[in-house]
Structure formats: structure tokens, C-alpha cells
Amino acid sequence: MTRTEAPATTAEESSVVAKLSTLDRFLAVWILVAMAVGLGLGRMVPGMGDALAHLEVGGISLPIALGLLVMMYPVLAKVRYDRLDAVTGDKRLMVSSLVINWLVGPAIMFALAWIFLPDLPEYRTGLIIVGLARCIAMVIIWNDLACGDREAAAVLVALNSVFQVIAFGLLGWFYLDLLPQWLGLGDGQGLDVSVWKIALNVVVFLGIPLLAGFLTRRIGEERMGRESYEWKFLPKIGPWALYGLLFTIVVLFALQGKTITSQPLDVVRIALPLLVYFAVMWAGTFLLGKAIGLAYDRTATLAFTAAGNNFELAIAVAIATFGVTSGQALSGVVGPLIEVPVLIGLVHVSLAWRKRFAPSAVTTAGRGY
């Protein structure tokens, strides 16, 4: 970059910041407030957690489902579905995502769980379950905030969702039963989860918002034209993604607020391997993306889809198999407690990388809408 280009770049970056709404600009603050509100409600309001826990159908929490659907719909309505062929044709991206999510990720969580929690088998099992549940919901938001490739995120989330239905139960048996016995670590713990339960989870948390987003894009472009759809309609529904995120965080932490605040030392023990896991998975995958020649937007997408986890599935499986008051369930709940602030921090790290090393990728906030 020459010196004569610097003022233009600075002006462009200032313009981007100026276009951010108050909600976007202070998102990290709102997320921390939402976590505090949720923990406070769960701790101080008698019966709050139990009342929310009973609002479920087929093992799926209705409040959390509502929040996730509201969160994902606006982002999936922004996806340009006519560009998906360009993503599916990128073999580097597709193969890397499958290997990292289904070979590397579970293995790293298994190792960290045994390294940090050798004396706490319930918490260790819960962490391994978290590592098996690959993200299909919140990653859409993290990717969008980091200006990743929306079309690539939609394809990778769909791809990993299919593998989740097929591989979750099999990997659960391998890491919780077979591998510990092979390594002489003692008898394993069974994982009672049906393929249909995982499939229902995928349909609710991905299928419904994906279909809604696709139909909105198709009908909206037919009636309004692409330019009006993207510049007039999308800005109106865009903020609802963050409203849904904040609502989900409040509900999630209200569900287990009393448990989390009454066992702070246990939470710290569980949090340490999770912190290492998120950092290693994100940084390692980001470096891999750069090494294989992916552009910034697809590198960010690859990194966030690798680092995120499907906390709703992990918690549901832990509760169904071991009970709502089990240590395995507590590990599942601590997962998003650590994941949410860590990944929002990694969004800022990702954007700083983009600004410093990929200035040509910097356009406008939200890619123009």
C-alpha cells in the first residue's frame, strides 16, 4: 500500500465504524449484560430454571428454540443461494471442515478432558459430549459478525449437520466407551442418544430457519428485485439476529444460573479445558485456512465453524442420559458460558487480522447491508 492510498483507507474504515448501530458497536457489552441478567434471574427468581426447563417438546427447549430461530433467520435470509455452487466446488474448504470437525475437534476435546479433569469423570464425560456436538446455530452469527463468507457458512453448517446425524452416536461410543478401554483408562460410560433425536435437533435449529431464509430470499427478490431486497428489506430484519442472540443467552443462563453460581470452583475446573479448546481450534484452523490459500472470508468461516459447538444438543443429550442435576449436564451448561464471550472476543481478533493483513477485504459493515 502506498502512502497516497492510506488516507482513503483510513476514511473508509472511519465510514464503516460510523455506519455501525449502537447495538453492533457495543455488542460485547450487551452480551455480558445478557449473561449477567440470565445468571441473576436463575439465581434470584425462585423456580425460574425449573419453569423454563419444563417448556420443551421432544427434549427441545421452546424458549431456546425460539431465540435461535429468530437469531438465525435474518442471517440466512441474507445468503445468496445462487452462489452456493462456488462454495461446494471448493474442495479445500469442504474437506478441511469435515476433517477438523469430525476427526480433530473431538480428539482434542477428549485429550483436554482427560488432561484437565482426570479425577472428575462426570465433568470429563460432559466435556467430551460438548466436543462431539458440532455447531449448527450460533456459528452463523459469529461468522457474520466477523465478515466471513455467508454462503460458505450455510454450506458448511448444512454439511456438518448431515455428519452430525450420522457420526454423533458412533463417536460417542468410540470416545466414551471404546477408546478409554483401549488406553487403559478404565471402563467407559455409555451414551444413550437416538439418531432421530439428533435429526430432530438438526431440523429445528437448521432446517426451519434455512428454509425460511431461502424462501424469503427467493420471494423477496422476485417481488422487489435484488437491489431493493438487499438495501431496503434486509436492514429492517437484520437487527433481529442480535435480538435473538441476546434473548437466547438470557434464557440459557437463567436455566442454570443457580447451579453455575453455587459451584464456582467446579465451573472454573470445567472452564479451563474449554478455554484451551476454543483457542486451539480457532487459531489452528485460521492458520490452516491461510496455509491452504483461502481468502480471509472463507478462512474466518472455516475457523468459526470449527471452534463453535452445538450446546443445545450437548445439554439435551447429557440431561437425557445422565440427569438434569448431573455433572455431565453442568459441563454442557458451562460450555456456552465460556464459548459466548470467548468467540465474541475471537470475532474482534478476526476483524483485527482482516484490517491489518487483508485490507482489500474491507468494504462496508455487513457487506453492504
Q: Domain locations in the chain?
A: 23-368
Extended strands (E) in 141-254: none
SS3 (DSSP) at 120: coil
DSSP of 25-69, one letter per residue? HTHHHHHHHHHHHHHHHHHHSTTHHHHHHT-EETTEEHHHHHHHH
Nearest to 136 by CA among 152, 151, 158: 158
Mind listing the pLDDT tens digit for each residue in 138-161? 788 889 889 999 888 888 888 887
Predicted confidence (pLDDT) at residue 369 exceeds the cutoff of 50:
no
Return the DSSP state at 20: S
Task: Calculate mean pLDDT across residues 118-147.
Answer: 86
Mind listing the pLDDT tens digit for each residue in 39-92? 888 778 777 767 776 777 766 678 878 887 888 788 778 878 877 777 778 889
Mind listing the pLDDT tens digit for each residue in 154-197? 888 888 877 887 788 888 888 888 888 888 876 656 555 566 76
> What's domain 23-368's architecture?
Up-down Bundle (1.20)
Percent composition of the chain: helix, strand, coil (DSSP 3-state, to 5): 80, 0, 15
CB distance 304 to 134 below 8 Å = no
The partner residues of 120 in beta bridges, in order of sequence, read none
Nearest to 105 by CA among 330, 343, 308: 308
Mind listing the pLDDT tens digit for each residue in 247-296? 887 887 787 677 777 778 888 999 999 999 999 999 999 999 999 999 99
